[in-house]
Structure 1
Amino acid sequence: MPKSQLLAVLFMVLSMISYQISASFAKQLFTVLDPLSVTILRLCFAAVIVCIMFRSWSILKRLSFLKWRDLLCYSAALGLMNVLFYASLGKLPQGIAVGLEFIGPLGLALLSIKQRSDYIWVLLAILGVALMVPWGQAQGDNFSIIGAIYALGAGLCWAGYIFFGQRVAHQNIGMHALTIAIALSAISLLPIGLYNNAPALFETQYWGKALAIAILATAIPYALDLQALKRLNKLSYGTLLSLSPALAALAGLFLLGEKIGFLQWIALSCVMLASIGVALRSSKTTNTP
C-alpha cells in the first residue's frame, strides 16, 4: 500500500475513534444531563466550530439564492439523527446503538441493488439486526426495545441526511451547507431544550465537556476525513467506514465498561460485512461502462 494511502487509512481510523470517544463522553454526561440537553449543547458548540473551520460567514451574501427546501430537510435530518442517536445511547450499549443506526445508510445503499446475487447483503443486514436483539431478555439491563427504536430512527434520519446531502451538494456551497444545517438544527432545538430543562443548558460547569464532545465529534473527524478523502477512493472510504460499529463497541467496552454478548458481536460482523459487500458492489457498478 502506498504511503499516502496508508496515511489516509490512519486518518480514517483516528476520525472514527475520535467520534466514538465523543459518543462515550456524551453517554457519561447523561448521568447529570438528559440526552436532549447534551445534544443541544453539542450542536451549539459544533455550529460555532464548523463556522470558524470553514469560514462560513462568506456564504451570507448567497443565502437568498439557495434552495431552502433541500437545506431545511437536510438540517432536519441532521438534527433528528443526533437527538435520536443520543437518546438511544442512553438506553443501549454504544456498540449496539451504532450498529442499529448503521442500518440506515446501509439500507439506502441496498436500495440500489439490481442483481439477485447482491441480496446476500440484504440477508446479512437482516441477520445482523435479528442477532443484535437478545430476544430472551429483550428488556434486560443490556438492551431496550425503545432504545433500539431510537437507534433505528437515527439510522433512518442518517439515510435522509445522506439523501438530502447529495441534493444540497448540487448547490455548490461546499462545507458551508454543513454549517447551515448544524446551526439551523441547534436553533430549532434550543426552544424545546429551554422548555424541557432550561437550567441544564445554563449550567456552565458542563459547557467544557460539551465543547470537548463537539470538538471530538465535529472538528477532529471532519478535518481528518477531508485529508483522507484526498487520498482514498469511494470504495476504500466506504469499506473503512464499515468499521464504525466495531470501534463503537470497543469504545463502549474500554471507556464505559459495556460488554456485549457473543451473538451481538456476530451481529455487528454481519452488518459490517454487508456494508463492505455493498461498497464493493457499488464500486464495480460505477466502473462498469
Structure 2
Amino acid sequence: MLPACFVLFAAILWGTTGTTQALAPAGAHPIAIGATRLAVGGLFLLLILLVIGKFNLRGWPIKTTIMASLCMALYNPLFFSAVSITGVAIGTVVAIGSAPIFSGIIEWMYVKVRPPKIWWNSTFLSIAGCLLIFVNKEVLVNPIGIVMALGAGLSFASYTFISRTLVEKHSSLSVVAVVFTLSAIWLSPFLFVFDMSWIMSFRGVGVSLQLGIMATGIAYLLFAKGLVHVSSSTAVTLSLAEPLTAALLGVFLLGESLTTTSWFGIILLILGIGILLGFPKKSISKKETRMVQ
C-alpha cells in the first residue's frame, strides 16, 4: 500500500499546479512557468544531494538518463501548448487520459507484461471519471492540439517506464535530481524567449517555489519512490488523481462550480483509484514482481 500511496500523494501535489498557475502574476506564460518549475525542482533536489553528500555519478546509465530527461522536458511544453490550443478540458483529458493506455502498451511491448484485468477496470473507470469532470468545460477540437496532447501523454508514460528502470539501481532522490536538472537544461532556452519579469515579484517567487519544490521536486521524488514497487502502468493510472485534485481545488479555493455530471465523474475517478489502492498486489503481475525483486 505504501508505494502506491507515494504515487497517489505525488499526483495530489501535481493537482495543485493548475490552481497555482491561476494565482501567478499576469504575463507569466504557461511554457515559461513549466520551464521554471523544472529548473527550481531540479536545483532543489540537486542541492539536497550535495548537502547530504550522496551526489555520485559513478556507473550512471547516461543514455537512459538522457532519454528520461528528454521525455520530461517534452511533456511540459507539449501539455501546456495542447491546453492553450484545445482548451483545458480536451487538453487535460487527452493528455492525462491517454497516458495510462500508452503506459500499458509500452509495458506490453518492452517488458512482455500484459496489465491484469484489475488495471483495465480501474483505468476505464478513472478515464471515464476524468471525461465526466471536464464534459461541460470549453471544448475546442483542434487536430494539432490533440496531437500535442497525445504526445504529452506518451512522454509522461515513457518517462514513467524509463524512470522505473533507473530507480531499480539508484536511489530515488538521485534519479529525480539528475533527470530534472537535465530536463531544466533542455528547456532553459524558453527562459530567454518569454518575458520572465514576473518571477521577480513576491507572488512570482511564491508561485515558482511552490511549483518547483512541492509540485515538482517533492512530488516526483514520491513518485520515484513508489515506482520501486509499483508497475509503471499502475503508477500512471494512479496519477489520474491529478485532475481530481485540480477540480476539487478549483471548487474550494477558486470558487468554481461543478455540475452533477462532474461530481459523478469525481465519484468514478475515486472508485477507479480506490480499486488499485485496495488491491495493490493484483495490480502488478507475478512476472514483473520477480523482475523488481
Q: TM-score, normalised by structure 1?
A: 0.69
Among candidates 50, 55, 58, match of residue 59 of structure 1: 55
Correspondence 1:200 to 2:203: no
Classify 1:32/1:204 alpha carbon distance in 2 versus 1 (closer, same or farther; 3 Å). Answer: same
What is the distance in 2 between the residues matched to 1:94 and 1:130? 8
What is the distance in 2 between the residues matched to 1:102 and 1:66? 33
Which residue in 2 is equivalent to 1:21? 16
| Matched ranges for 1:148-187 at <5 A | 150-172=148-170, 174-187=172-185
Which residue in 2 is equivalent to 1:142? 138
Among candidates 67, 71, 74, match of residue 73 of structure 1: 67
User: Do the aligned residues in 2 keep the contact of 1:95 with 1:252 (CA within 8 Å)?
Assistant: no
What do residues 168-196 of structure 1 show as CA deviations (whole Å, max 9, x unaligned)? 234435421211211111111112441x3
User: Do the aligned residues in 2 keep the contact of 1:95 with 1:245 (CA within 8 Å)?
Assistant: no
Correspondence 1:109 to 2:104: yes
Among candidates 24, 27, 30, match of residue 32 of structure 1: 27
Further displaced range: 166-175 or 118-127 = 118-127
Deviation at 1:61, TM superposition (A): 5.0
Classify 1:29/1:233 alpha carbon distance in 2 versus 1 (closer, same or farther; 3 Å). Answer: same
Classify 1:261/1:93 alpha carbon distance in 2 versus 1 (closer, same or farther; 3 Å). Answer: farther
Deviation at 1:16, TM superposition (A): 4.4
Classify 1:288/1:17 alpha carbon distance in 2 versus 1 (closer, same or farther; 3 Å). Answer: closer
RMSD: 4.4
Which residue in 2 is equivalent to 1:50? 45
What is the distance in 1 between the residues matched to 2:211 and 2:17? 5
Which amino acid in 2 is paired with 1:59? F
Determine helix, strand or coil for the equivalent of 2:249: helix
Classify 1:180/1:98 alpha carbon distance in 2 versus 1 (closer, same or farther; 3 Å). Answer: farther
Deviation at 1:22, TM superposition (A): 3.3
Determine helix, strand or coil for the equivalent of 1:256: coil
Q: TM-score, normalised by structure 2?
A: 0.69
User: Do the aligned residues in 1 keep the contact of 2:94 with 2:150 (CA within 8 Å)?
Assistant: no
Further displaced range: 178-187 or 118-127 = 118-127
What is the distance in 2 between the residues matched to 1:158 and 1:179? 17
What is the distance in 2 between the residues matched to 1:268 and 1:106? 20
Which amino acid in 1 is paired with 2:74? L
Classify 1:46/1:130 alpha carbon distance in 2 versus 1 (closer, same or farther; 3 Å). Answer: closer
- Give the aligned length: 271
What is the distance in 2 between the residues matched to 1:20 and 1:167? 25
Deviation at 1:216, TM superposition (A): 2.2
**Sequence identity (%):** 22
Classify 1:115/1:251 alpha carbon distance in 2 versus 1 (closer, same or farther; 3 Å). Answer: closer
Which amino acid in 2 is paired with 1:168? L
Point out where structure 2 has 5 or more consecutive residues left out of the alignment: none
What do residues 219-250 of structure 1 show as CA deviations (whole Å, max 9, x unaligned)? 44357668x96xx9749x95865533322211
Classify 1:150/1:171 alpha carbon distance in 2 versus 1 (closer, same or farther; 3 Å). Answer: same
What is the distance in 2 between the residues matched to 1:53 and 1:188? 21
Classify 1:87/1:179 alpha carbon distance in 2 versus 1 (closer, same or farther; 3 Å). Answer: same
